[in-house]
Structure 1
Amino acid sequence: MGLGSDGASVMMGAHAGVGALLKKESVFAVQVHCIAHRVALAASDASKAVQMVANYKRTINSVYSFYKNSATRTSRLRELSATLTDEDMISLKQQCAVCWLSLGKAVSAIKKNWPALIMELSEEAANGNAQSQGLLNIIRSYKFIVLTHTLSDALPVMDKLNKCFQREDVNLGCISPMIQASVAALTHLRHIPGPEEQSFHREYVDGKFKDVAVTEGTEKHVRTFNNTRRQYIEELIEALERRFPHDDLNILKGFDLIFNPDRYPVSCAKPLMEHYGTPKETDGSTVEPLISRENAQRDVVPLLTALRGYGGLNFLTACETVIRELGDIFPDWAKLAKIACTIPVSSVAAERGFSLQNRIKTSIRNRMSEEKVTRLMRISSSGPGLKDFNFHRAAEHFNGMKLRRK
């Protein structure tokens, strides 16, 4: 049995969490904290640890609210953006703690619309709007502008990692390499500014950026930002390593090493045989192991040799081969292959289900029954696309239904 969760205490609690209760029923259960959630939490941890970044997030949310609450301001901002650039305006985004990748999208929108924001807020401030004057003072500052460009370099590293782990068919073999690649990319950014930050420094001349006078750009402010920049990237690296410790996911790593034909150190079988091949004590009783440790250890070299002979297998196809073709020869490893296919490393599918439910059952449609919501969710997720749907047949069916009393 495998349990994938978002890491909430109700799920991961050591004594009364869902995972702990499941382990009382199945002592061999493996509990996995969703890898996509871990990446999002790592980014959140780093933001909270650096005050400048935390303040930045509050500022971009204030800018978002300032325009969201006024259609007139939004329209004027759109017109200014169209005047300054030939490209369509990117709508301002809200940074939301529970929405993955939202900070990256919000930063991208701020960077793209910054010249138009300066002009629109200046007009508002000239008309006596105190809130716009306060926002203008912040977004014209050196630290805000350069931090926008720094985040435009650092956040895509985290976003790419998150998107990789959001796939429905996440391969166990990609977890460790992707984490290592992301840490390497961030380590490089710690020492050398990325392309977005370099672009800012090229355009920042004589205290001006895009012909706008920048405030708080003294050498002292520059040194302060450089220290903060280094601290933030170091916090990102440490948060990733903390959320994905080297000794964590040992069971998953063991499955990956066994059932990925590219690897094959015999020692990789050890954590699997220790977990599934030894008796477990629970509530004063002993649970027999799922596999024979001796047989599994004896078969590991022949199994790895056999899988290597198939060639071109990835994790899932290797598991399928062991189950269907080699199950009679290596029964213990066939059982482990079935377990490997059922352990969720991510809870993304469940998160998508909740998002789909919220899109269907809105506040206006809050009286919709559970049965109807389920039916609409199935149609939306598994039904035909709009291009393939037969609306004529649906209309005929609707017209053929008996009339209801008014």
Structure 2
Amino acid sequence: MDSKKKANIKENRHILKSVAESVLYCGRQCIALRGTSEKQNSTGNPGNFLALMKLLSNHDEKLKQHMERPKLRNATYLSPQTQNQMIDVIGKRIIQAQIVDEVKNAQIYTVMADEVTSHNVELMPLCVRFVDKDLNIREELLEICSLPRITGSHIATAIKDVLSHLNIEIGDCRGQGYDGASNMSSENVGVQALIKKEAPKAVYMHCNGHCLNLVIARSCALPLVRNMIDKMKSTIIFFTYSPKREQLLMEIVHKDAHSMGQRKPLIDICRTRWAERHDAYSHFYSAFVFIVKALEVIALGLHTEDYSQDVTTGWQGKYKAEAYSLLSGLQNFGFILTFLTVYQVLSHLTGITVKLQKTSVDIVEAFSMVDEVKNIYKELRETIEDDFNQIYKQAIRMAAQVDVQPTSQPRVAGRQTHRENVPAETVKDYYRRNMAIPFLDHVILEFESRFSPLSVTASRLLGLIPSIQCNSGVTVDISEVVQLYQDDLPSPELIDQELKRWTLKWQNKPSEHRPTSCAEAIKQCDALIYPNIFKLLKIACTLPVTSCECERSASTLRRLNTFMRSSMGEDRLSSLALIHTHYDMAVNLDEAVNIFSKLHPRRLELTSVLNP
């Protein structure tokens, strides 16, 4: 009887393990579990979960027998209720529990949040940043919760409720990473102020990715630059929103270009990320001549003999008029020169935009990257004469390809306040004084103002970096940091002596072997020999740089909340997001079966009282 009971339990657990495996597969691949019918023998679409179970049963005799002839008709473990319970077990009881344990072991952490709307419901991905046991910086999604409103008090309450529910001490929070909206950043009623009431050391950092985008947005508000971008957007929309017009452009490109590969001639301008926007500028630059030729085909009926009639004939009058308007805007030397200036000047931001989004970047490394780019722009401002001459020559060559010559400079009106009015003798001087120099000044000014909090915070931590410590010309005082985190340090009274030992350790090593960031330094810092410095480096690594992980987590909602499952409970949505986001995290299916059997005991035997 005992052996028969064990065999029965083993078979039942095998079936439930297959259920867990199917749920995990659907969750990781972000595909809907349910279909139009949840009955196995239904003629409609049974859904991905049941279809996958049927597929597995073709290679598993025990599972096939359970699917066709279950021992108990009311204990098949295939119902939507079981699916939800297994999703909760894998998402919350295993993946989330593992992250919570790692956060507790790290002792200190940073919270990052960002609100997003999905199917007319306000949701908030809540992420944590911490240093794990292997001394790697990690940013992980903790939960996605719904918000009744997006005021500072409601968001702060939601954050505190999640932390309290997961038994994570809010007093251990050392950083906050949000965007710069008033409900987040306000010093009185913002989220950061409300969280600081319970976690006074939780330093607020405006997402540096958003700061970089704001630098570009504010700099591009210059009238000449803004008008150029509007014309560029209108041109991209004109072609990409019409299959026939895009087909015409593609045919011109494939026939006249030497090699464009498989990439599209035009891509839409991203509104949030400059790295994606830079790609749009690159495509527009490469396809500029072909764009002008396509507009000439539509507006003026030129070059029709060179291409197929399907794309050169049958254009309605309103499209001809729109194409003629765009053609007049593009065949303008001021547009070409402004486009090249913006394209080349902002190209320096492409690399830093991508690097700032990495989870392993610490605040000192981010400051170093931002400072490097800022110095590039300052140097560019000093040599604007020579650099703009090169851009001007390139603009002349580009304009000649579309039969455009540098015309006389725009009229200058002394009392006009909504256009550029700096007097100039030549066309080149006009655009240099009215467009290039103001544009560069705007970029530098925005860098100074937007990244000043980053500079202040990072400057306090520079004294911990060996490459800076051993620089004889640099003296960095870390007394402010020691005073701020005095309660976190094991022996703050010995920090000066410890710092001397830390400096001597690296002075005897070549400069190329000295760590240049907190992430590198903490991996070479022995917590037993340098306990205070190790703790300060850990705090420095924990401070947030961007809130990109929240945005990446919010992007999963586009795949989760599809038209097939637009209505979904908060627990199911959060658990599926955890399963999908933490794709590479190992999940022990036997553990999932154990947890399920304890939380949801059913009619099938899954455990034995004598042999659990």
Question: What's the TM-score bracket when you normalise by the shorter of the two chains?
Answer: 0.7 to 0.9
Which residue in 2 is equivalent to 1:213? 403
1:251 paired to 2:457? yes
Structure 1 residues 113, 316: CA separation in 2 closer, same or farther (over 3 Å shift)? same
Measured after TM superposition, the shift of residue 308 of structure 1 is 5.4
**SS of the residue 2:188 aligns to:** coil
Measured after TM superposition, the shift of residue 111 of structure 1 is 1.1
**SS of the residue 1:180 aligns to:** helix
Which residue in 2 is equivalent to 1:53? 225
Distance in 1, Cα, partners of 2:466 & 2:545: 16
Distance in 2, Cα, partners of 1:238 & 1:268: 27
Does the CA-based 8 Å contact 2:270-2:277 persist in structure 1? yes
Distance in 2, Cα, partners of 1:331 & 1:43: 42
Measured after TM superposition, the shift of residue 344 of structure 1 is 1.4
Which residue in 1 is equivalent to 2:285? 111
1:13 paired to 2:186? yes
The aligned amino acid for 2:242 is: S
- TM-score normalized by the length of structure 2: 0.54
Does the CA-based 8 Å contact 2:461-2:540 persist in structure 1? yes
Distance in 2, Cα, partners of 1:100 & 1:72: 29
Q: Which moved more, 1:16-25 or 1:355-364?
A: 355-364
Q: Which moved more, 1:136-145 or 1:194-203?
A: 194-203
Which residue in 2 is equivalent to 1:237? 444
**SS of the residue 1:25 aligns to:** coil
Structure 1 residues 196, 39: CA separation in 2 closer, same or farther (over 3 Å shift)? farther
Which residue in 2 is equivalent to 1:66? 238
The aligned amino acid for 1:217 is: T
The aligned amino acid for 1:75 is: Q
1:358 paired to 2:523? no
Identical aligned residues as a percent: 22
Does the CA-based 8 Å contact 1:2-1:344 persist in structure 2? yes
Q: Which moved more, 1:262-271 or 1:85-94?
A: 262-271
> What residue ranges of structure 2 are gaps of 5+ in the alignment?
1-173, 301-314, 411-426, 585-612
Which residue in 2 is equivalent to 1:399? none
**SS of the residue 2:197 aligns to:** helix
Which residue in 1 is equivalent to 2:338? 147
Which residue in 1 is equivalent to 2:200? 27
Q: Which moved more, 1:181-190 or 1:77-86?
A: 181-190
1:263 paired to 2:472? no
Which residue in 1 is equivalent to 2:48? none
Distance in 2, Cα, partners of 1:366 & 1:156: 40
1:206-260: CA deviation from partner (whole Å, max 9, x where unpaired): xx521x2226622455443222111111211111111122x75433333343144
Distance in 2, Cα, partners of 1:196 & 1:91: 26
Which residue in 2 is equivalent to 1:344? 544
Distance in 2, Cα, partners of 1:164 & 1:297: 34
Measured after TM superposition, the shift of residue 15 of structure 1 is 0.8
The aligned amino acid for 1:95 is: I
Does the CA-based 8 Å contact 1:4-1:32 persist in structure 2? yes
Map 1:284-363 to 2 at 5 A. Answer: 289-291=487-489, 293-306=492-505, 312=513, 314=515, 315-322=518-525, 325-327=526-528, 329-362=529-562
Does the CA-based 8 Å contact 1:19-1:31 persist in structure 2? yes
The aligned amino acid for 2:479 is: K
Distance in 2, Cα, partners of 1:261 & 1:187: 24
Which residue in 2 is equivalent to 1:391? none
Distance in 1, Cα, partners of 2:227 & 2:284: 15
- TM-score normalized by the length of structure 1: 0.79
1:307-331: CA deviation from partner (whole Å, max 9, x where unpaired): 6568845322432444xx334x544
1:12-66: CA deviation from partner (whole Å, max 9, x where unpaired): 1111111111211111221111222211111111111x11111122112211221
Measured after TM superposition, the shift of residue 171 of structure 1 is 3.6
Distance in 2, Cα, partners of 1:92 & 1:123: 18
Does the CA-based 8 Å contact 1:150-1:196 persist in structure 2? no
Map 1:110-259 to 2 at 5 A. Answer: 110-126=284-300, 128=317, 129-190=320-381, 191=384, 192-193=386-387, 197=391, 200-201=394-395, 203=397, 209-210=400-401, 212-214=402-404, 217-220=407-410, 221-227=427-433, 228-245=435-452, 248-259=454-465
Does the CA-based 8 Å contact 1:261-1:304 persist in structure 2? no
The aligned amino acid for 1:104 is: H
> What residue ranges of structure 1 are gaps of 5+ in the alignment?
278-288, 385-406
Measured after TM superposition, the shift of residue 342 of structure 1 is 1.7
Does the CA-based 8 Å contact 1:90-1:112 persist in structure 2? no
Which residue in 1 is equivalent to 2:420? none
Alpha-carbon RMSD across the aligned residues, in angstroms, is 3.0
Distance in 1, Cα, partners of 2:539 & 2:439: 39
Does the CA-based 8 Å contact 1:3-1:31 persist in structure 2? yes
Q: Which moved more, 1:267-276 or 1:161-170?
A: 267-276
Distance in 1, Cα, partners of 2:390 & 2:235: 22
Q: Which moved more, 1:31-40 or 1:180-189?
A: 180-189
Which residue in 2 is equivalent to 1:395? none
Measured after TM superposition, the shift of residue 110 of structure 1 is 1.6
Structure 1 residues 124, 358: CA separation in 2 closer, same or farther (over 3 Å shift)? same
Measured after TM superposition, the shift of residue 374 of structure 1 is 4.8
Does the CA-based 8 Å contact 2:275-2:350 persist in structure 1? yes
Distance in 1, Cα, partners of 2:428 & 2:552: 42
Which residue in 2 is equivalent to 1:398? none
